[in-house]
Amino acid sequence: MNMFATDLDRTMIYSNRALEDLGCEEDLQLTAAEMKEGQPAAFMTARSLNLLRELAEEALVVPVTTRTYEQYKRVGIFGRDIPVSYEVTSNGAQIHYKGKLLDEWTERVDKRLKEECALQEEMAEFAAGWRFSGTLKKAGDSFFYYILQERISLQEKKKLEEDVRRLGWRISLQGRKLYFMPIPVCKGEAVKFISNREGADILAGAGDSLLDYDFLKVCHHAFVPDHGELSMEMPHGFSCNFSENRGILAGEEILLKAYRLLLGREAAVSGNSAPGRTALL
């Protein structure tokens, strides 16, 4: 079986802020992919939803996200509209299989955290010394991030990267969110674990950030939207397929390419990116 591992935010689904930042044509037919407090919180095109649904019927589709499992479950398309067996959350700290946490994977990650990294409390204290203009948020026991009011400069980011790496951590800047992540909490190791477990023949992946690079580099084929962190800071020697589109249409374009690659045929699905507005789940 072939496998498609995909990041969610700003790759497959787009929040109102992402639509504002990256642009969105007024006449696109959008579908709410996430609901929060009864209101649509993230979207994809209607055609993207149909493409992903058809792809999941014949290939192993694996959502891979920095979101916690609780945040991920707000993305209601998975499980109900799109069948998934594996779900990678908290940037790879957790893998759920058929709705249950894989203890084997959790134990492996916990062992590495104890051996290789400074404690989260120590790293949070270190980060506080930078006096970021923003709000601190914790993502369980795995990592934390700042929602920045003022973005840091590239020079500041480079210096911060060097400092945190000495403590077994790393950073990633995604929009206004500055993530602090232990190095063993890694999407790539989680995706590789699932691919080996299932014996995937062809492994394709899609993502927009440096945190996604961890799993894209283990894929046979990597798709990257032409926006976000990876498009600006491409690691040397990394080969990938950039989208021609930006924003929400980049997600649709990537799905068309993944469909062709993994299923060996052109897509013939309904739900064109044509006049319309938002359809709620």
Residue 227, phi then psi, degrees to nearest 5: -165, 170
For CATH 3.90.1070, the residue range(s) in the chain are 118-182
Mean pLDDT of 37-59: 97
For CATH 3.40.50.1000, the residue range(s) in the chain are 2-109+185-263
Token pair for residue 133? 């203009």
**pTM of the entire predicted model:** 0.90
pLDDT the model gives residue 196: 98
pLDDT the model gives residue 281: 42
pLDDT the model gives residue 277: 39
Task: Give the mean pLDDT of the chain.
Answer: 93
Q: Rounded to a whole number, what is the distance in angstroms from the first to the last CA of the chain?
A: 29
d(CA 30, CA 20): 14
pLDDT the model gives residue 233: 84
Of residues 152 and 250, which shows the higher confidence score? 250
CA diameter of the chain: 54
Burial-class residue 194 by CB neighbours within 10 Å (0-12, 13-18, 19+): buried
Radius of gyration of the CA atoms of the chain, in A: 18
Q: Is the pLDDT of residue 274 over 80?
A: no
pLDDT, tens digit (0-9, with 9 covering 90-100), for 238-266: 889 999 999 999 999 999 999 999 999 99
Q: Is the pLDDT of residue 276 over 60?
A: no
**Which of 234, 224, 227 is closest to 204 using CA atoms?**
224
d(CA 138, CA 26): 35
pLDDT the model gives residue 186: 95
Task: Classify domain 118-182 by CATH architecture.
Answer: Alpha-Beta Complex (3.90)
SS3 string of the chain? CCEEEECCECCCEEEHHHHHHHCCCCCCCEEEEEEECCEEEEEEEHHHHHHHHHHHHHCEEEEECCCCHHHHCCCCHHHHCECCCEEEEHHHCEEEECCEECHHHHHHHHHHHHHHCCCHHHHHHHHHCCCCCEEEEEECCCEEEEEECCCCCHHHHHHHHHHHHCCCEEEEEECCEEEEEECCCCHHHHHHHHHHHHCCCCEEEECCCHHHHHHHCCCCEEEECCCCHHHHCCCCCCCCEECCCCCHHHHHHHHHHHHHHHHCCCCCCCCCCCCCCEECC
Mean pLDDT of 43-69: 97
Of 42-51, 99-108, 163-172, 236-245, the poorest mean pLDDT is in: 236-245
Q: Which residue type, as a one-letter code, is found at position 279?
A: A
- Is the domain 2-109+185-263 a CATH 3.40.50.1000 member? yes
Residue whose entry in the numeric block shows the structure tokens 């980060």: 127
pLDDT band at 171 (very low <50, low <70, confident <90, very high): very high
pLDDT band at 229 (very low <50, low <70, confident <90, very high): confident
d(CA 260, CA 30): 23
